[in-house]
Chains A and B, each alone.
Chain A
Amino acid sequence: MDFSYTDEQELLIESIDEFVRRSMPDDLITRMYAEQSVPDELTRAYLEAGFALIGLPEEYGGVPCDRVTLGILTERFAHASGCLTPFLNNVLAVNDMIDFGNEEQIRLCLETYLEEGKPLFSLGFSEPGAGSDNASMSTVTRRQADGSFLLNGQKTWVTAGESLPNVLVAAKDEDPSPDNRSMSMWLVPRTTAGLSTSSLHKIGAEIMPFCEMFFDDVVLTEDMRVGVAGEGFKNLMKNYEMERCLIIAQCLGIAQAAMDDAAAYTGERETFGKPIISYQLIQQKLTDMEIALLNTRNLLYRTLWMIDTGQPVRIESALLKRYGAQACTQVASEALQIYGGLGFTTETRLGRIWKDCRGMEIAGGTNEIMVHIAGRQLARRYARK
């Protein structure tokens, strides 16, 4: 088994470190959290350095690469910067459109992305009454006599919903009842009449604010539909596995940044006349934090390798998401603990990292839903032959 990076991966890591050193000084990161946004210049610099193109197909101007390398990019970027950024979500959104959109929609989406480094749309899937249980969403479209559709309902926790120009909405076709599985996705401009938003206040990952979205007799036309009519649910589920891997790659990167800080601090901070690293309780913290990081990393890259080699990862991606999000939150929490009172202030980045990781125990499928996905499948996998 070869765990080493290729030359290309090592050079990519060097490029990321250099990019972060030049373009993301600490005060900029602090400002991004305070202002809850990423400055356009940074998004553009990320695009110009070529990172935004990694993982997109060549025919669309991208630089295709394997999933392991995409994971390395994601982890390292989060590690070097110590923060969660929307860049990963952006490339995932563009890939969604490439998978499901028609030529015109793909062209539009890429035009924006290659020009500005931002995707054309946010994702409006969750509803106040339907998060984990997506299928019971009640947002609905109804066909009108003139061939258009009326969209009614509400979405919530829509990341970047108030800054991106469109939203990709999942809605039931004709009938909102839970047993209607016929669902479609629609690309709706935010300025469409009848669409309104209301900000929500996050406790973490503030760089990427989310909002509520209301649809009140919004008129849609057939050309706004993305993908096959009625198959929206299938589409919705298809790219979750990769998303889960990359969410954990981000958590891992920032948790590693917390480890870097905390481990160094244990040699600097003295209590009772000795550096705190001389106490076994502190040594145990570092040991357990390192184990958590290594386990997460091993699970992450093994799962990505499985995707690269064409193996199904429904179970593995759920195991990774469940384990990794909690492990990284715990690493950040212990790092904060090692800093004592200072850790509980905004003087260090540990509180911020802890909150960012904590959100990832919910986003992209909760810890509990990962059991729901993996548990029964595991029983089947281990059933006596």
Chain B
Amino acid sequence: MEIIVALKVVLDDQDIALASDGSLDTSRAHQVASLYDLNALEAAVQLAALEEGSRVTVLTVGGPEIDDSKLRKNILARGADELIMLLDEAARDWGSFETARALAAMIAKRGTWDLVVCGDGSADRFAQQVDVQLAAALDTLVFDAVVAWEWAGAQDGRLSLKRKLEDCEQTLACTLPLVVSVMPDIATPRICGMKEILAAGKKPVSVLTAAELALDLADIEKSGGATRFELIETRAPARQKRAARMYEAASSEGLRVFCAEAAALIG
């Protein structure tokens, strides 16, 4: 099975500081693999282990600054066989539409594939769009909210999926190729062992640019909307002062006041 994992590199939100004016200070933030994408990668690697000869290839798209030798090794120490990065100044601020187009072009260039696995949503924007738009670009089916899967073998050829929907769990079986996005529950990211860490540096990594992929940037960006809007600023909402009110609860009268006011608040 040829499995592709679409993994986003984001700024580590633990390193993002909030300035007093509400603006975000990202100057100290490191580039890391988006949290839930690691669950997707783990699930993909576990699935690949069920079918001999399977390969897991990680694709990522972003500005040149996301390339970092430690990050590469961190991804490849988690069982992926190969990493392909599209690094381009143009890609830095891409939204879901542009990213999905670029991923589709990378997948087409790479060759045959059976399954694309996306995380539940990226740690920064959490738009939950790339899976759907990628499937559209690849002209195939997509299922989201996958919490478990089973592979009965190449003979059957169908991947059965369990999806967790708002008020039910759905199980279905689907032939490949297919795009899925998985919920974090599907697998816990592994703790990388030293052996895997040491081996990661020797695994293949390729870096592409938009030009090498022959992406028509003008066309993509026009449709994607990035040319139609300008991001003016991003600010944290003003902090609400929390009102703390104390109630005298030693008497039943005090309790009655508390209950009445609480009931009024809840409506």
Seen from chain A, the residues whose Cβ lies within 8 Å of a Cβ on chain B are 7-8, 10-12, 14-15, 18-19, 22, 49-51, 53-54, 63, 65
Q: Which residues of A contact B197 (CB under 8 A)?
A: 8, 11-12, 15
A-B contact pairs, 21 of them (CB 8 A): A7-B201, A8-B194, A8-B197, A8-B198, A8-B201, A10-B70, A11-B74, A11-B77, A11-B197, A11-B200, A12-B194, A14-B192, A15-B192, A15-B197, A18-B191, A22-B191, A49-B193, A50-B196, A51-B194, A53-B194, A65-B198
**Cβ of B69 < 8 Å from any Cβ of A?**
yes
Q: Which of B53-90 contact A (CB under 8 A)?
A: 69-70, 73-74, 77
> Which residue of the partner chain B has the closest CB to A73?
B194
Q: Identify whether the interface residues of B are mostly helix, strand, loop, or mixed.
A: helix
Q: Are B195 and A63 touching (Cβ within 8 A)?
A: yes
CB-CB under 8 A from A50, the residues of chain B are 193-196
C-alpha gap A63/B193 in the complex (Å): 10
- Knowing that A7-B73, A8-B73, A65-B198 touch, tell me 4 more A-B residue pairs with CB under 8 angstroms: A7-B70, A12-B194, A50-B195, A51-B194
A5 to B73, CA, bound (A): 14
In the bound complex, how far is the Cα of B200 from the Cα of A14, in angstroms?
A: 15
Chain B nearest CB from A24 CB (Å) reads: 12
Tell me whether A65 and B69 are in contact (CB under 8 A): no
**B77 / chain A contacts, CB cutoff of 8 Å:** 11
CA distance A22 to B191 in the complex (A): 10
Tell me, in angstroms, the Cα distance from A50 to B191 when the chains sit together: 9
Q: How far is the CB of B110 from chain A (nearest CB, A)?
A: 26
Minimum CB–CB distance from A2 to chain B (whole Å) comes to: 15
A14 to B191, CA, bound (A): 9
Give the contacts of B130-161 with A (CB-CB under 8 A).
Answer: none
Q: Could you mark each residue 194-215 of chain B with 1 if its beta carbon is under 8 Å from any beta carbon of chain A, else 0?
A: 1111101100000000000000
B193 touches A15 (CB 8 A): yes
Known: A7-B73, A8-B73, A11-B74. A65 touches B191 (CB 8 A): no
| Nearest CB in chain A to that of B72: its residue | A7
Assign chain B's interface to a size class. 10 to 19
Q: How far is A54 from B194 in the complex, measured between Cα atoms in Å?
A: 7
A7-B69, A8-B73 known; A15-B191 Cβ under 8 A: yes
| Per-position 1/0 for B152-195, Cβ under 8 A of A | 00000000000000000000000000000000000000011111
A11 to B68, CA, bound (A): 13
Is A11 within 8 A of B193, CB to CB? no
Closest to A11 in B: B197
User: A12: which B residues are within 8 A, CB to CB?
Assistant: 194, 197
| Residues of chain B lying within 8 A (CB to CB) of residue A15 | 191-194, 197
Name A49's closest neighbour in chain B (CB-CB).
B191
Q: Give every chain A residue within 8 A of B69 (Cβ-Cβ).
A: 7
Q: Are A65 and B70 in contact (CB under 8 A)?
A: no
Instruction: Among B77, B193, B194, find the residue whose CB has the most chain A CB atoms closer than 10 A.
Output: B194
Contact in complex: B192, A11 (CB < 8 Å): yes
Chain A residue contacts of B201, Cβ below 8 A: 7-8
Residue on A nearest B195 in the bound complex, by CB: A63
Contact A63 B198 (CB under 8 A): yes
The reply to whether B191 and A19 contact each other, CB–CB distance below 8 Å, is yes
* CB-CB nearest in chain B for A22: B191
Tell me the complex Cα distance, A54–B196, Å.
Answer: 12
Select one of A7, A10, A18, A63 contacting B194, CB under 8 A: A63
A49 CA to B196 CA, complexed, in Å: 11
Give the chain A neighbours of B74 by CB distance below 8 A: 11, 14
Q: Give the distance in Å from the alpha carbon of A63 to the alpha carbon of B77 in the complex.
A: 14
C-alpha spacing A53/B70, complex, angstroms = 22
Residue pair A11, B73 in contact (C-beta under 8 Å): yes
Contacts of B196 in A (CB 8 A): 50
Cα of A125 to Cα of B133 in the assembled complex, Å? 69
Least Cβ–Cβ distance between B55 and chain A, in angstroms: 22
Specify which chain B residues have a CB less than 8 angstroms from the CB of A22 in the assembled complex.
191
Distance between A22 CB and nearest chain B CB, rounded to angstroms? 7
In whole angstroms, what is the CA distance A373 to B243 when docked? 67
